[in-house]
Structure 1
Amino acid sequence: MVRGPPKLYVDDECNFVDPQVLENVLTTKFDTFAELDVCELRKARSRANAFETIRNGIFMNRAAMKMANIDAITDFMFTSLDYDSVHKRDGPYYFADVCAGPGGFTEYILWRKNWCYKGFGFTLRGEHDFKLQESTCVSSDSFHPFYGPNGDGNIYNLENIQHFKRIILEHTQGVGVHFVMSDGGFSVEGNENLQEVLSKQIYTCQCLMALEILRPHGYFVTKMFDLFTSFSVGLIYLMHLCFNAIAIVKPNTSRPANSERYFICKDFKNTHQSSEIRRYLEFVVQDMWHAQPEDSDNDILELIPLDILLRDTRFSKYMHDSNTSIAERQIIGLQKLKFFCHNPELVEVHQETCRLKCLNLWRIPDRKRAAIQNVTASDIASSISQPAFMLTQPKEISVTTFDSVIDEMNDWRFVPLCSSKPSNFCHIFVGMSNSKVSKLVGNKWVKVKNMHLNRGTVLYGEIVKEKCISMRDGIETEKLSLHVIDALRLGDVSLADLSFEERAKSISIFCEAINFEVDGDVRIRPKEARCLQDLYTKNIIEYKQETREYNAVGAKNSNEYYSVNAILFLKVNSHQSFNSTYVLRSVVNINEHDTTHVSCKLIDVIKKVRSLNKK
């Protein structure tokens, strides 16, 4: 590491760019921005840039279209994880969006992949916060923002980075996210030639964040600007050592007259060297965070000795060629912008052709952003074929009527219910606009507080009070959870033609994607429907003598459980759709101390299932 007075100019940084090109780009930038005001430049840009009319399309801002462009450049590697043999899993796939309010990058990802991807956000609170609720093309329930222990979302603070890392690891089984996106930047009006120097802290923090939270073989994309200084090139070099492949690209959606570019890293190497680099960058970030004005002569100028960077000829050549090529394009873009300023009648004639070709290549529909629609529970219900089936109540069976209903062992599954004869917590739930939820009670829709489901979702579930025992201090608390039993539609994805097993698999992914364990929110859990044999071969339902009640283990872990008052039986053979499984469902109320006809002892139900297995 080399320290010294902070750089006030970059015109001597010629190690990784052609010297004449560097001089030309700095001079052209200074002359253009000094001569023309912002309003003139904006008007000229709308006419001069061949790709300007692509704009935001169906999305809420241009950042979403940039991510679409970057995804296409990389052969859709960010949205094709489910086709990648290295990453392929049952899902969901995890990503992080950092320094990226109002959320255009995430909007694109969720538009492409819906709830099959689960996102974690980190950005500054306030004016530049996430605003995904304003999106008209996605439901953002599988994305949640976090802001660090101080609640400010400041990535410069290492404490915030480490806090976000802990959240990520808790939600990803300790493995990390599949990819990280970051798009941090700030206005440098009047200091365009120093943008790189002024941005080095955010460069470093975003790169460190990726190293902290990526899983092995993960991807990273981040916005950068000029990369002339030894500091910037040294940071790129360190990241290059942590990944099997890197690239620096200037997408078409990035305006040609600015210095913006994107640094893309593929196939994270979770090695000892990567860990050492991560610890080194932690030190650098902490040093920058605690720097004082009186330390101005102690600025970090180089992360890696210059001779090491130059010694790696393949890397240094790549940086030289990349910087020179992007700078040459920027010079042309600036000159064209200036020329169009002085000639207001000129218009780039290829704008429409470029727009249509790009949308086609990026697989984006040629439509404008839709108006925000207020979708109600009744709207969703009316879109379902013959919705009257949702009013069907479960058939109540007893020991004497059991055999006449549950007639074939392999045709049925069972789930424990907290609901009882007087207290029913099982309902049809629908997701509406702005993540609002309603449940069907009788023949009326009733709003549910503190629950979030993707717009368009139609599912059958039970609201349960789960008792949670803290692993730290053994204190027991209660948390509300929605146990999803079956589903007709999850967001925009219809399950109508799927088998019960296929629906259950989708439900499991959906619940994992939209559940963030945030205090105050109703948790979302899949309620596993088990084969009838498990009723007597496994301790799914246990009787607690001290509380004189039945309990079942919660979906998360053995430290969570809930009271069981009934058993729901679902007919799930290959002939059953969601509608028929719902209509044919049957329930047995169990109570060890109630001898009336409405309740059965669990042991009697088990005997009936055993006898069914012998047939």
Structure 2
Amino acid sequence: MSNCSESYRQSDYEQMCSYGGDDGNEQDGESSENYESNENEEEYQESLPNKRARFDNYSDYQFGKHSINENDNTNESKPCSSQGKAARIMAKSGYQPGKGLGKHGQGIVEPVKASEQKGRSGFGFVPRDYKDEITIDPEKEKISVFEQAFWLENRYSEDDILSTEQLKDWLKIGPEKLNIDDEVHFCNPTVLHDVLEAKFELGNVNDVTKIRGRCNPFETIGKGIFLNRAAMKMANMNRVFDFMFTDPKDKEGKNIVQEQDLLYFADVCAGPGGFSEYIFYKKKWRAKGFGFTLANENDFELEKFFAGPSETFEPHYGFVPQDAERGDGDIFKAENIESFSSFVLANTDGEGVHLMMADGGFQVNEKSIQEIVSKQLYLCQCLVALRIIRTNGNFVVKLFDIFTPFSVGLIYLMYRCFDRISIHKPNSSRPGNSERYLICQYKKENCTDLIDHLMKVNEILCKRFETKKDVLELVPLDVLKGDETFFEYIYESNNRIGERQVHHLKNIVIYANRTDLVDSRQEKFQRECLEYWDIPNEARTDPNKGEPHSKIRELFSNRTSEIDSLNTKPKKIPNFGALKEEIKSELNWYWEVVGNGDNDGKLSLYLGLGRNNVYRLENQRWNKVKDNSNFKLPGGTLVYGELVDEYVVNSNNIRAQYRRTAFHIVDGLFLGGEDIRRKQITDRIKLCSLFAKALRKSNMIYRAKKLYNFTEMPRVLPAALQRRKLKSNKNVIGFVIDKDQFIVPEGILCFCGTSEGWCLYKSKQHVGHLYYYNRSDESTVWQNEASERYEKAARPWNSFRECYEKRLALWIDDRTLNDLLESYPSQ
């Protein structure tokens, strides 16, 4: 397959567009959607050339590097002593004041008037007058904060699957087409004509950014607390579509993501990451994200995620070439699509994501061909979605114009792969551009043939500048029009969005000539929209990470006794025999194996202030962890854990063995600000396990310790304690933590999970069930129901503090290890 990036440099598109990266943008005279740090047109135009990936051959001229400064007075006429001489020369040529030159005085009398044109308008341009065509009273426009979603239901049966043969027969290939003037199959011809004409007129308007600020009723909403306006658009659409992106429900209305689950999502062609920031704002650490975008210049800016934590987000850039640190993130390359898809599936237990978001866009100078330039981007984003979204998952992707059979055919194919689709332009999307979003809900199971087909189509598109052959149709016109429900939906959607776009573009032209006009509803809409979207009406601020002592006081609400309890040391048990004597009722006690000894210092409490601002409690002082730069914890995290060496082995080749640093959570207090201290120890460990799963990345392993009941020791130890040989030829006893992975055990920590006055028993009638028994009043409660029944003062289980203060530690030496092996010999 040819290199798509190289192919683009050979294309005619060089003269028409510049690639704004996977950041996404809004066109038609408006700045890029995700370049929200630009507060005015000048800053935007200054920054844009540095953010392009490919097409910048003409950028110097497009952005005025060689333009004439209207304030440059170097060429102004100045008084000159030679003016009298010039007059004499003119007189000799027959010049008479008040008359023209020439034999018959036919020359012009008045001097040529200096040009008054400014900005992008051409010499002699006269703007069209829209005064008679449009109402300029903003109060008369019918705009609602409460938007309506229009769904198109898939009426095809589950057995009606698109086959490879059918898809291949549908494909139409021919010479590339570089205009859409005649693409009137899926809209009213007048709408298309008016859209193209209005875009042309806008190209001659100066200071569009300032004018838009006056005439767009939703402009002052801006980006709010987020990185950019893309995040606010996601908040807008999430509310309109009943929070289907952050709280998806099945067809019966039940939650798809349960309390013990993570919300898996992918953010594709989406740097710097506004969509993801919104998801983390809503879900905190309970969302696990995978990012794919152009590396470097259009990359994710995770350090600027102020509204939500980014520690559970992992960017991926596709196939890594030899001698490279990472891929390039080019979604057009088949090897990148394959690599990213495999990565996502491997990290979601083979299921895929619940949600994929795509926000790719080109920076197009010739706005009438925006749709044509974006066709391969449309296709590749949809292709990745079909590969990585799990069954019944959801998809949202940004589109621009959808007038061509190619674009409509692609939407049709997505319509056939999901239970229903919607095309929506949210209020937060500027009405003067062509942007809209395709929302797809409940992905169907069997899409394999279509995935393979679209991979081949993408290969054709990558080679089209060499072969001079383009893909014109994915689905024949007669098929698209034959599905009347689908056709009418697209037709009506294009007309509705197009008419609104034309209206606003005309408004911009009028506002350009009427500086007195301002949409007075902006403040009202800003307040009402943010309230409806459940977003605070506040300015974006960099969260103050603070210092560890103040954060601890904040987490514990200044309760000194609880803070002081963090310094409690475990009770040391001299040998295994003494440990068994200490444990009166085995069912009430739990144990974990640790890989750090009593004096190592790495087994301690860890406090996260966000990113790699992690502190460890050492001798009653909080010291910053510098062991591993990849070790990060969300702000507001406090856990008992250890940084430990894990050994990954290959039973067939000892030389393939390697060691890596991992973070093991022993127990938890706060997970990303979520207080879990008063839950049962078994429930706390389950949440810590989910937390570690969300944090786990390719360059840093997180896991929660396996919590064993004391009654399981005879079963677990013989299987888990195994003799191993390290790469250094040193023989050790390893404790297996996972398949082909072990740690060298240094101790066993024991925790009492049952509160004073209570005891845990096995049910004789209900096998596998446990219940708490109160010795004083003889009351009982099932263990799995206790959390819902008991208040804080009466709970039958120990909180974190009680477990921590009463913990026992059996530090392992050769003698202790021999005692364990003798007590529980391998079977």
Using the size of structure 2 for normalisation, the TM-score is 0.69
Deviation at 1:506, TM superposition (A): 1.4
Distance 2:382 2:182 in 1: 26
**Residue of structure 1 aligned with 2:567, choices 391, 413, 426:** 391
- 1:82 to 1:421, Cα distance in 2 relative to 1, 3 A: farther
Cα contact 2:572–2:810 (8 A) shared by 1: yes
Identity over the aligned pairs, expressed in percent?
36
1:394–1:584 CA contact under 8 A, matched in 2 = yes
SS at match of 2:566: helix
TM-superposed CA distance for 1:603, in Å, is 5.4
Deviations 1:70-104 (A, max 9, x none): 11111001111388637234211210000101100
Q: Matched residues in 2 for 1:18 and 1:358: separation?
A: 32
Matched, 1:453 2:624: no
**Residue type of the alignment partner of 1:588:** L
- Contact kept, 8 Å, 2:429 with 2:435, in 1: the verdict is yes
Cα drift, residue 291 of structure 1:
3.1
The alignment status of 1:299 with 2:470, answered yes or no, reads yes
8 A Cα contact 1:588 1:600, kept in partner: no
- Verify: 1:178 aligned to 2:354, yes or no: yes
* 1:491 match: 672
* Shift of residue 364, structure 1, vs aligned partner: 0.9
Q: Does structure 1 residue 24 correspond to structure 2 residue 207?
A: no
1:105-163: CA deviation from partner (whole Å, max 9, x where unpaired)? 00000010011110000001122210121122222000011111242111111111110
| Helix, strand or coil at the partner of 2:584 | coil
> Are 1:435 and 2:604 an aligned pair?
no
Give 1:612's aligned residue: none
Aligned to 2:815: 594
- The higher radius of gyration belongs to 2
Look up the match of 1:360: 531
Please tell me whether residue 536 in structure 1 is matched to residue 758 in structure 2.
no
State the superposition RMSD in angstroms. 2.1
Instruction: Find out whether 1:36 has 2:228 as its counterpart.
Output: no
Secondary structure of 1:59's match? coil
Change (3 A) 1:325 1:50: same
Deviation string, structure 1 residues 274-333 (Cα, Å, up to 9, x no partner): 2111111101112222333x433x111111111111111111111101111100110111
Are the equivalent residues in 2 in contact too, given 1:376–1:433 (CA < 8 A)? no
CA drift of 1:489 comes to 0.7
Following the alignment from structure 2 to structure 1, what is the Cα–Cα distance between the partners of residues 652 and 393? 32
Distance in 1, matches of 2:673 and 2:597, equals 33
Contact 1:487 1:495 (C-alpha < 8 Å) held by counterparts? yes
Matches within 5 A, 1:107-506: 107-150=277-320, 151-189=327-365, 191-271=366-446, 274-292=447-465, 294-296=466-468, 298-383=469-554, 384=556, 385-386=559-560, 387-399=563-575, 401-402=578-579, 405-444=582-621, 445-448=623-626, 449=628, 450-470=630-650, 475-506=656-687
SS at match of 1:503: helix
Task: Determine the C-alpha separation between the residues in 2 that align with 1:396 and 1:503.
Answer: 24
For these two proteins, the number of residue pairs brought into alignment is: 590
Alignment partner of 1:551 is 2:734: yes
Structure 1 residue aligned with 2:751: 570
What is aligned with 1:509? Answer: 690
Distance 2:464 2:665 in 1: 51
Is the contact between residue 290 and residue 313 of structure 2 (CA under 8 Å) also seen in structure 1?
yes
Say whether the 8 Å CA contact 1:435–1:455 is kept in structure 2.
no
SS in 2 for 1:13: coil
Which is worse superposed, 54-63 or 426-435? 426-435
Alignment TM-score, normalising by the size of structure 1 = 0.92
> CA separation in 2, counterparts of 1:471 and 1:6?
56
Q: Deviations over 1:511-555 (max 9, x none)?
A: 11010132xx3x11010211101101334542428776443222x
Separation in structure 1 between the aligned mates of residue 660 and residue 330 of structure 2, nearest angstrom: 31
Q: CA deviation at 1:471?
A: 8.1
What CA distance in whole angstroms lies between the structure 2 residues aligned with 1:486 and 1:196? 53
Take 1:97 and 1:421, find their aligned partners in 2: how far apart are those partners?
44
3-state SS of 1:594 partner: helix
Any idea what SS the aligned residue of 1:248 has? strand
Does structure 1 retain, via aligned residues, the 8 Å contact 2:722–2:736?
no
Match of 2:804 among 582, 586, 598: 582
The answer for unaligned runs of 5 or more in structure 2 is 1-170, 321-326, 755-795
C-alpha offsets along residues 574-593 of structure 1, whole Å, 9 cap, x if unaligned?
A: 442222211211111233x4
For the residue of structure 1 that corresponds to 2:485, the secondary structure is helix
Assess, with a 3 A threshold, how the Cα gap between structure 1 residues 7 and 152 changes in structure 2: closer, same or farther: same
Seen in structure 2, the aligned counterparts of structure 1 residues 472 and 515 have a Cα distance that, compared at 3 Å, is farther
Cα gap change, 1:280 to 1:359, in 2 (>3 Å): same
- Contact conserved, 1:397 with 1:586, CA < 8 A, in 2? yes
Aligned counterparts of 2:641 and 2:719: Cα–Cα separation in 1: 19
Output the CA distance in 2 between the equivalents of 1:421 and 1:453.
24
The answer to whether 1:88 aligns with 2:257 is yes
Q: Is contact 1:550–1:565 with CA below 8 Å preserved after alignment? A: no
User: Is this contact kept in 2: 1:16–1:320, CA < 8 A?
Assistant: yes
Given that 1:216 and 1:267 are in contact with CA atoms closer than 8 Å, whether structure 2 keeps it comes out as yes
Instruction: Pick the aligned partner of 1:3 from 173, 184, 192.
Output: 173
Q: What is the alpha-carbon distance in structure 2 between the residues aligned to residue 603 and residue 46 of structure 1?
A: 75
- State how far apart, in whole Å, the 2-side matches of 1:4 and 1:182 are: 28
Determine the C-alpha separation between the residues in 1 that align with 2:297 and 2:732.
52
Distance 2:464 2:653 in 1: 39
Question: Does the Cα contact within 8 Å between 1:99 and 1:124 map onto a contact in 2?
Answer: yes
Aligned residues of 1:222 and 1:263 also touching (Cα < 8 A) = yes
CA contact (8 A) 1:590 1:601 kept: no
Structure 1 counterpart SS, 2:441:
strand
TM-superposition CA deviations, 1:4-61 (whole Å, max 9, x none): 222221121111101111111111111122x203xx2111111111111111111111
The residue identity in structure 2 corresponding to 1:236 is: I
Corresponding letter in the other structure for 1:587: A
The aligned counterpart of 1:71 is 238
**Range with bigger deviation, 89-98 or 79-88:** 79-88
Q: CA deviation at 1:600?
A: 7.4
2:665/2:704 contact within 8 Å kept: yes
Distance 1:472 1:602, change over 3 A: closer
